[in-house]
């Protein structure tokens, strides 16, 4: 099905690389192809668009300019620098990998795809991307953009997430890699998928339509074939900024489960038959032992994760002056910026001007 691409490999590559030379974005990790920077950028971009990732990347590199600085940092500092990127297990794995590199390789990033793949938090795509982009090795790097692009080029008529489809796409990507410039080729494939062969394809701007089977058949809008997405679950929740003597109460989330180890305001889901204020008072009592009174509303913020969409009601609440010690940590508002929070709490903090 994709043999025509491999047969026309030289012309396909020439068209693709010529386009990339003029259209490729000047992303910061492309400046020197430093392995640490390439690896860090790939971890960030696993769940983040490139332009947004670039802004976080530059701040991260100012804070952690090398592998040693990540390895020796407190986890809280790593999570705080990662805040806003979400999926915090990526940051924890990045630090675990940095410590492993310091211990096993003396701080020198490994260059073989097998050793890169063995690092915590690194999957097949990331290993291939780092090996090819940082070390110019002929390894495929099949991300969602490349998968979509190759599915259209080959007019793949079955779901791209099926094992057989994934194997075909990976084999095609490997067969297409030119020996002399795998670094540029893989980046060009990803860039073309991101900028031109996007979900809504811009075929009029594509340099390789001559090699696109779906384009010839007028079927680019029908490719790639995907499975129906899971329906979103909508949740309503409440969170309380508990105040006492100029301090606010925060709690650290369990080290297992959603947003593990992050700091948060007490609160939780609004159950059927409850109002947000009632739910908040109940959750705070259950979580901290405090009986609070609800003051004014701060804001209603919305955020999403995986297949859930959350409406979060934020309130100021007041703890009694003679209340017992609460299960949590009392901190000054100006110290909250040093801690990592989930998206909903962070939006409340931004609304208050505390982040």
Q: Which residues pair with 267 in a beta bridge?
A: 239
Q: Is 42 noted as a catalytic residue in this protein?
A: yes
Question: How many angstroms separate the Cα of 39 from the Cα of each of 6, 54, 239, 247, 281?
Answer: 29, 13, 36, 40, 45
Catalytic residue among 10, 37, 42, 191: 42
Q: Who contacts 15 (Cβ-Cβ below 8 Å, separation ≥6)?
A: 207, 208, 210, 211
**Euclidean distance between CA atoms 257 and 2, whole angstroms:** 42
Question: How many angstroms separate the Cα of 351 from the Cα of each of 104, 149, 300, 344, 345?
Answer: 44, 40, 10, 11, 10
Rama region for 273: left / alpha / beta (φ>0; ψ in -120 to 50; rest): left
**Euclidean distance between CA atoms 290 and 283, whole angstroms:** 10
Q: Who contacts 159 (Cβ-Cβ below 8 Å, separation ≥6)?
A: 165, 224, 225, 226, 227
**Euclidean distance between CA atoms 100 and 97, whole angstroms:** 5
**Euclidean distance between CA atoms 143 and 180, whole angstroms:** 22
Are 245 and 318 within 8 A, CB to CB? no
Give the H or E element holding residue 318.
strand 308-318
- Show the tokens assigned to 172: 């095609």
Number of CB atoms found within 10 A of residue 166's CB:
15
**Euclidean distance between CA atoms 249 and 316, whole angstroms:** 11
- Please list the active-site residues: 42
């Amino acid at each position: 099905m994709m043999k025509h691409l491999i047969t026309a490999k030289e012309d396909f590559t020439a068209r693709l690389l010529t386009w990339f030379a003029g259209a490729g974005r000047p992303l910061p990790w492309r400046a020197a192809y430093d392995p640490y920077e390439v690896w860090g950028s790939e971890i960030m971009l696993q769940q983040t668009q490139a332009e947004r990732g670039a802004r976080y990347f530059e701040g991260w590199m100012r804070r952690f300019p090398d592998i040693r600085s990540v390895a020796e940092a407190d986890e809280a500092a790593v999570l705080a620098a990662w805040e806003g990127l979400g999926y915090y297990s990526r940051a924890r794995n990045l630090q675990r990998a940095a410590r492993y590199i310091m211990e096993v390789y003396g701080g020198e990033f490994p260059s073989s795809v097998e050793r890169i793949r063995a690092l915590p938090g690194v999957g097949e795509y990331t290993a291939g991307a780092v090996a090819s982009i940082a070390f110019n090795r002929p390894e495929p790097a099949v991300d969602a953009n490349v998968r979509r692009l190759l599915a259209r080029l080959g007019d793949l008529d079955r779901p791209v997430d099926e094992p057989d489809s994934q194997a075909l796409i990976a084999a095609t990507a490997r067969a297409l890699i030119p020996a002399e410039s795998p670094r540029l080729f893989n980046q060009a494939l990803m860039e073309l998928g991101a900028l031109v062969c996007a979900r809504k394809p811009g075929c009029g701007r594509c340099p390789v339509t001559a090699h696109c089977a779906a384009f010839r058949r007028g079927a680019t809008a029908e490719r790639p074939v995907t499975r129906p997405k899971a329906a979103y679950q909508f949740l309503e929740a409440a969170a309380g900024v508990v105040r006492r003597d100029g301090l606010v109460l925060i709690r650290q989330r369990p080290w297992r489960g959603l947003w593990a180890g992050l700091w948060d305001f007490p609160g939780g889901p609004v159950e059927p038959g409850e109002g947000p204020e009632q739910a908040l008072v109940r959750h705070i009592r259950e979580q901290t032992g405090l009986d609070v009174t609800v003051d004014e509303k701060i804001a209603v913020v919305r955020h999403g994760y995986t297949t859930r969409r959350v409406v979060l009601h934020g309130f100021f609440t007041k703890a009694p002056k003679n209340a017992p010690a609460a299960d949590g940590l009392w901190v000054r508002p100006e110290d909250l910026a040093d801690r990592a929070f989930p998206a909903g709490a962070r939006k409340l903090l931004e609304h208050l001007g505390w982040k």
